[in-house]
C-alpha cells in the first residue's frame, strides 16, 4: 500500500457492480454531472477552496480503487489535488446556450474517470461574463449518489460563505 493511504476495505455490492462495468470499458457511463448557472458576483478563489475543503472532509472523494489479492478494494488517500479547471470564455461573448458551452458540458458528462487514481471528482468553472458563470461538478457514481448532493450542497454553501468572508 502506498504512503499516505489507508485501505478502507472491500467494495459494497453496488460498488462492485460499478467497478466490474467500469472495467468492461463502459467508462463515462456512470458519471454524475451537476451543472449550475451562477449569476452575480463570484469569489472564484473561495469557491475553489470550498471544493478543496469538501474533498478534504469527504473520504469518498479522495478514494481510488484497485485490487488486492484479486479482489477490488477502496483506498482512501490522505491528500489529493482536486481536478479544478477554470476557463474564461468572457471574451468570446457566449451565453449558456452557446454550442461551445454545451459541448463542454457534454464532454464533462461523458469524460471517464480513471478509478485507479484519485479523486473520482472534477470541477470546471466557465466564466461567461463578469457576473455569469457555469459550474460543472462531475463525480463518479461509485462514490456518490443523489443523497450525497444534498449534504455536499449544504456544506459547500457554508464553506463558500466562510471563505468569502475570510473566516
pLDDT number for residue 18: 92
Let me know: does 138 contact 31? Beta carbons within 8 Å: yes
Let me know: does 154 contact 160? Beta carbons within 8 Å: no
Number of domains in the chain: 1
Residue 45 C-beta-side C-alpha neighbours within 13 Å: 4
Q: Whole-model pTM?
A: 0.91
Q: Where do the H-state alpha helices sit in 35-119?
A: 44-57, 99-110
The domain in which residue 74 lies consists of 5-164
Contact residues for 41 (Cβ-Cβ < 8 A; gap 6+):
131
Q: Can you give the CATH number for the domain in which 64 is found?
A: 3.30.559.10
Residue-wise pLDDT for 61-79, tens only, equals 999 999 988 899 999 998 8
Helix (H) or strand (E) run with residue 39 in it: strand 31-39
pLDDT above 90 covers a percentage of the chain that reads 76
Amino acid at each position: 500500500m502506498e504512503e499516505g493511504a489507508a485501505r478502507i476495505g472491500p467494495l459494497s455490492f453496488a460498488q462492485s457492480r460499478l467497478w466490474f462495468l467500469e472495467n468492461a470499458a463502459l467508462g463515462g457511463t456512470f458519471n454524475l454531472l451537476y451543472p449550475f448557472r451562477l449569476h452575480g458576483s463570484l469569489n472564484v478563489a473561495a469557491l475553489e477552496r470550498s471544493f478543496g475543503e469538501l474533498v478534504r472532509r469527504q473520504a469518498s472523494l479522495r478514494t481510488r480503487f484497485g485490487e488486492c489479492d484479486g479482489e477490488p478494494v477502496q483506498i482512501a488517500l490522505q491528500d489529493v489535488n482536486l481536478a479544478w479547471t477554470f476557463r474564461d470564455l468572457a471574451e468570446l461573448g457566449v451565453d449558456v446556450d452557446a454550442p461551445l458551452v454545451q459541448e463542454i458540458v457534454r464532454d464533462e458528462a461523458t469524460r471517464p474517470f480513471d478509478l485507479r487514481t484519485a479523486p473520482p471528482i472534477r470541477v470546471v468553472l466557465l466564466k461567461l461574463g463578469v457576473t455569469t458563470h457555469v459550474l460543472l461538478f462531475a463525480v463518479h457514481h461509485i462514490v456518490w449518489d443523489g443523497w450525497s448532493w444534498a449534504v455536499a450542497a449544504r456544506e459547500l454553501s457554508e464553506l463558500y460563505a466562510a471563505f468569502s468572508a475570510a473566516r
